[in-house]
Structure 1
Amino acid sequence: MDCSDLIGITCLDEYEALFIGCSSYDNGDFPEEFSCFCEDITSFNNKNVATFGSGDRFYGGNFCKGVDKLNELVVQRDGLLYKKSLKVELSPKKRRFKANRIICSKFF
C-alpha cells in the first residue's frame, strides 16, 4: 500500500519541526495506515521531531509501545528527536492536560 497521497508525506519538507503521533495496539503494533506512513518516510532531514501517542495501561509493558517504535524510526531516519515523548492514557485525568501543554510549549 502506498500512503503518500493519503497522508501527504511530501508536504513534510515544508515544516521546520514536526509533531508526529500514533496509536498502538496489542503488542505495540502500529495501525496499518501508520505503518505505511513509516515505510514511506525515507528521511526527516535533520528536522526537530516530537512524538506522542495514546495507549491503554491494561497492556502493561506495551503501554504506548508504538511511541517507542516511532522514536526509533525518527532517529534511524535522521530526525532530531525531542527529549521527551508524550504518552497519553486513553482517558487522561484533567491534571495531565497542564503537563501536556508544558511539554508541547517547551518544544518550541
Structure 2
Amino acid sequence: MADAAPPPSKRKREVAAAGDEAPGTEDKEAKGAGVGNGTSAPAHLPFSGFRVQKVLRESARDKILFLHGKVNEASGDGEDAIVILEKTPFQTSSGTSSSWMTCT
C-alpha cells in the first residue's frame, strides 16, 4: 500500500504589489490601530529571560509544578529563581476561567 501524502503546509499570505491590499483591510486597521497588527511596541515577556535548570516537583493530581532556574542570564548577572505554576479551578459562577498561572 502506498504511503499517504502529508497534508500541505500552511503558507504565508503574500501581497502581489506594495500598493495592493486585501479587501477589508482598511476596516481592520481603523478598528485596531496598533493592537495585534505588528505596529504596537513590543511587549516585555516576564519569562523570556528565564532558563529552567531543574524541575523540583510536579504533581498531576494537584496540577502544580515547581521549577528552579535562572533569570537575566544574558546580562551576565543571572539570579536563581523558583517559579511555581499552578492550574487553578475555573470559576463557574462568572462563566470565565481564572488565572492559568500564579507567579510568586
Q: Same fold (TM over 0.5)?
A: no
Per the normalisation by structure 1, the TM-score is: 0.23
Q: Which has the higher contact order (CA 8 A, sep 6+)?
A: 1
Q: Considering fraction of residues, name the structure with more strand.
A: 2
Per the normalisation by structure 2, the TM-score is: 0.23
Q: Considering fraction of residues, name the structure with more helix.
A: 1
